[in-house]
Structure 1
């Protein structure tokens, strides 16, 4: 469910904005550390954790977006990955928080007695409700005037600019929203694993998120959710049979791209959300 939230947030820029980011996992890591670092100093207030995760992720997305969004294609991909690796190595070098070995979260975020995240069932429902809320939010965004401009810029940015829209600002806001939502997912992930490490923000995790989006369908609201679920299912099954299970994933993705261009969601006959 948590990875589905991250994949849905990525699809906002990848599917609807055609911004292929190989650095989206950085926000997962930032969100997770927003839980782990305050907990290290015995600050367990969940509202503080979530606030830090969302605000810092949004700020990082804004600052990096000012640079990344001035590029296109391969350059955009490489710059987003470079920024992600900068954050990765920054946390690797901070020995106080475990460095490369990571940091154990002794106490999960506290939201009062009615929401006890120490109970795994409660944590699951919090994640599930969060997913539903974020899906609703993104649906509203996609069908709003803002969303139409983003999708228009995806198809023909020059035409949107000629109509008077500042596409750079629209794309930047979209980029920041996606980063903030993924940071929120990272805060949930930190609580779920009770352990954080720089590995959470490695570029390979960003690749996995892209895999989920493409597998489920980039032009669909629910596609990334299906992709995330199928990814986790196949990972659990295949990793128990073969050491090089990622190879099968690669072949499967090629088949999806060739024979189900809209992803699993399109193959199942659902209409794309445009």
Structure 2
């Protein structure tokens, strides 16, 4: 293992260790905020599998997130807490099945057509819960009792909910890291680099892309399940196109092609939102927080083409260029 790989592992381990220690230093608000960001991080990781690993720009990821969320109150409408043992897999499977259907049809298109088809399917799911009694219309649905697993895991307790969310985040991160190192992950990377060449070597790329799409939808459903349980309420906005756009911004802001980038991007995006919404800092301008957030993201994309995850490399390159002597620079130019 080289120095760079060790650095990545140390950084990731430090992030998860900091998240594990966070409840000891934060109050109720901090616990709730970081818990929400971890849910978004899982959501961002689901899209990273498609965009960063496979090269499929999906603009309907919110549909799978929303289906996972709506499955919680729809499948457990009673006053008694439902068991996590069956409700969590049911939410993930429901989102995964819809992703399988959407992927089976949309993956027959490419480029802008693929983006539009995934958006169309997401809007269909949005209007089903928005305009029919199934999803409670614009009022949404409240969760009567948060699920539990005996006396051991009661998600109605904030600290238990936080720990459970962190455990899910670590599990998803490890799963995707293992996928990336597997034969399946290498095939997805090959599809992203040059799908035509992969077909020429004998790979049937469609099943690989469909499997990745379905897995991505299931992970997004897991994030939706956690969001619904944490808030105790779901509404059609969870399937809106703006949420698909927000999670896409997260992974671009963090750095495409890196699982660490999805983590960093989710935290950066959410914290920037909180910063620009602060009336203590911006006063009445806080009502226009979208403007400040948008300008910051534009500046970040312009100044950080590799995302936040590439920032240390940019600093290192600038320091090397600044400290190099003219003879060394001339030799590098001649070699190039």
TM-score, L = length of structure 1: 0.95
The aligned residue for residue 271 of structure 2 is 233
2:220 alignment partner, one of 161, 165, 182: 182
Query: Which range moved further: 192-201 or 49-58?
Result: 49-58
The equivalent position to 1:244 in structure 2, one of 278, 283, 288, is 288
What's the C-alpha RMSD, in Å, of the aligned pairs? 1.4
* 8 A Cα contact 1:34 1:50, kept in partner: no
2:213 and 2:241 map into 1 onto residues whose CA distance is: 18
53-62 vs 37-46, which deviates more?
Answer: 37-46
Q: Among residues 70, 86, 89, which one is paired with 1:33 in the alignment?
A: 70
**Aligned counterparts of 2:58 and 2:78: Cα–Cα separation in 1:** 33
Measure, in 1, the Cα distance between the counterparts of 2:189 and 2:245.
23
**Greater radius of gyration (CA):** 2
Aligned to 1:10: 47
Give me the TM-score of the superposition, normalised by structure 2: 0.78
Deviation at 1:106, TM superposition (A): 2.1
1:263 aligns with 2:300: no
State whether structure 2 residue 245 is matched by structure 1 residue 207. Answer: yes
Divergent runs of 4+, >4 A: none
Give deviations 1:29-73, integer Å, cap 9, x for gaps: 111111111222456122222121111111111111011111111
> What is the correspondence of 1:140-219 to structure 2 with a 5 Å cutoff?
140-219=178-257
Tell me by how many angstroms 1:177 deviates. 0.4
Higher relative contact order (CA 8 A, sep 6+): 1
- 1:221 maps to 259
Structure 1 residue runs without a partner (length 5+): none
Q: Which has the higher helix share?
A: 2
| Count of aligned pairs | 270
